[in-house]
Chains A and B, each alone.
Chain A
Amino acid sequence: MTAVFLCNDDEVPRSAVELANASVTVLNDLCLNPRQIIPMISDDETSLVMGIHSGAVNLGAVQAIARRLGWDPLSLGVFDMAGAVDDEQVRLATAASVARSSHFPGSTPDQVKLLPSDRTTRRGLLSVGAPVYVGAPMVDPSSCVAGDGCRACAAACPADALSWTGGAIEYSINACIACGICVTACPIGAIRNPSADPTAIEAEIRTVITESSDPIGIRYRCRDSQVDCEPGWHLVEVPCTGMLTVGWLLAPRFLGAAASDAVSCSVGGCGLANDQRLEMTLRDSARASEALWSEHGGAPELSQTSAETVWLAHRSTGRVLEAAAPPASGLAISFEATDVGLVTIDPTMCTACEMCAQVCPTDALASSVNGSGVHITLDPRLCVACGQCVATCPEVDKGAISLSRQFDLSEWQLGRREVRHEPTPLCEICGQPVAPAAMLSRIEEMLGEDATATMAMISRRCVSCRGR
């Protein structure tokens, strides 16, 4: 059961708000005296949602109340009633906050970021009241693939809070701005931020769509933005709209929303280029929407509608596009910046050295060696266009490998398949593969004419048997 408290400091009656899984209480002066809720909490209530007027309440004080009640303050659902225009918006915002709060994944002490207050003054740090905290990311070292060469989070972080140092991704919570960009940048979902949990955010979106009696749009907004909710829209708070992907923007449409978009927190630029990042994503999203609507001749229908599917989980863009595209359409969309890629290998230039497969963080490219040679396979579903394969390929200057940011349904439908096969001569002593024939040819080409003896040795014997 969720305890819901709504401030009654305006003229809109809140008595109509009733939810099955929550006890709703409307209080006068809630914003001015949030502590009045403490004695009202009962034992069967396990989470807290508050509808307040953001300009009138100290969020730090509200978080302190949650702590005192034994709840994680980051699980607190707080929504601004000042921007709500009618009872219906308040009802939807309440239901959405309850859903998101009840899906809160929990946090650890390392995932709590102390937010310096804008109101901090020379003599007055923290003197404005209890400090405000937000969720901070944490990298799961057991699943992180930075050791294989992935730097997606460090490359995406606008605050240089993530870096590759000493054989691991190092994280500085003091440099971090808790924007959540690393969460969606990580190709394998190894970064968790309790304030940007895809499952909780999707639960909010699904609830709003289900509960709304009229068509409703989903509008993502930055944590720090002060946007009023327009009629027909529901605001979904994310740490920073720079973290959004095309998948995050499209998924609400396919879940039943009438529209979806996002607003940045800044007017003149956020200083970290996150607003520019959002603009590119919005352009890519518009491109994808146009293509999908055109293929369908109307609103797309999802081929998978399971309630268990979390569409906002990592690598969401491709999954959403695949589910929304007509199966026989051969839909192909080129993107500017989004996280869907297609790798092409030129067999006439590739030496089958396997470097691309070794650094691929998602195993979209994989390789194996058997008696018939080296086999490199590609599963386009797993490619996030990180570019590691291209950056690592020793023959990239010759065009051995290329990457384009595009979704191609026909490629996805093929699934994993072989994109390169190169025979390998077998060792004359042990019978194991020596090296790909193309690689041996390339070495011979580099060594020149005087390499006959060397080539005779390295092409007949494997590394283990060369000294014998």
Chain B
Amino acid sequence: MTLERLSRLRQGVYRLFGAGFSYPTRDLLTAAGGAPALFEGLGVFDYAFGPDVHDAAIVLAEADLDELSVAYVALFEAGVAGAACPPSESAHRSNARTGEVATLQSELKRMVMRFGLRLDEDAEDIADHIATEMDVMAMLCRRETELRSGDESVARVLASESELLSDHLLRWVPGFSEMVREADRHIAYSTLASAVRSLLAHEKQLLPLLVGESRGQG
């Protein structure tokens, strides 16, 4: 029961990050407004990342939409030499002139297909965007929740989560979140960046434990 609750919590948190790093909308702020109570009900304070995630949801919910939109563009989209904090994995891990961007995006798309998921048409070109990667993880956590509620084996979905975490998220998101925190353009994004760093530091420890437990299910 507790593990199911944990996967539901992780699904919600990844979903919040996916939405938080997307272009801000009124719907996003409304959804974020309900997140703190939802997370608390799922025991968010039981985990080390809890306070940071809880704070991020509150700050996001209370943000002014116009100010948030301006900050989003300044941080993640525009700028003299490009975005101040490019929100795509390829910007942090590959060289555009050698074709590595396309290679990395293809690799991500193939991986998502292997997971049994399919990217929306809109997301095809931004497969390596932080919001997309967070949404993919949220979907995997959702599947984990469904399997756990049906008392089925979660070993395979946990392997997918581990792969996405270690091969992609952990390789660039901590550095990206540090950039966002240092840029300090808007408290909502700085808080979101701290929260994502906190979550991933915890995921690095939690997933191996969950994988070990799932192998023991027999």
Contacts and interface: CB of A to CB of B under 8 A. Distances in A.
Interface of A: 60-61, 64-65, 67-68, 70, 73, 109-110, 112-114, 116, 120, 122-123, 125-127, 129-131, 133, 173-174
Given A113-B205, A173-B204, A174-B204, A125 B50 contact: no
B51 A125 contact: no
Query: Closest 6 interchain pairs by CB?
Result: A130-B46, A125-B213, A109-B198, A109-B201, A122-B216, A127-B2
Contacts of A127: 1-3
A120 B2 CA distance: 13
Nearest to A110: B201
16 contacts: A64-B43, A64-B45, A65-B45, A67-B45, A109-B52, A109-B197, A113-B205, A114-B209, A116-B209, A120-B213, A122-B216, A125-B213, A126-B2, A127-B2, A130-B43, A174-B208
Contact of A125 (B3, B45, B52, B205): B3
B218 to A, nearest CB: 7
B202 interface: yes
B6 interface: yes
Q: Please tell me the size bucket of the interface on B.
A: 20 to 34
Nearest to A65: B45
Interface in B187-211: 197-198, 201-202, 204-206, 208-210
A437 B47 CA distance: 64
B19 to A, nearest CB: 22
B49 interface: yes
Contacts of B209: 114, 116, 125
B181 to A, nearest CB: 12
B73 interface: no
B1 A131 contact: no
B117 interface: no
B98 interface: no
A139 to B, nearest CB: 15
B46 A109 contact: no
Contacts of A70: 51
B48 A133 contact: yes
Contacts of B197: 109
B209 to A, nearest CB: 6
Interface in B40-65: 43, 45-52
Nearest to B48: A112
A130 B206 CA distance: 13
Contacts of A114: 48, 202, 205-206, 209
A352 to B, nearest CB: 44
Nearest to A111: B201
Contact of B46 (A64, A122, A173): A64
Which of B3, B209, B217 has the most chain A CB within a 10 Å cutoff?
A: B209
Nearest to B213: A125
Contacts of B216: 122
A122 B52 CA distance: 30
A123 B202 contact: no
Contacts of A110: 201
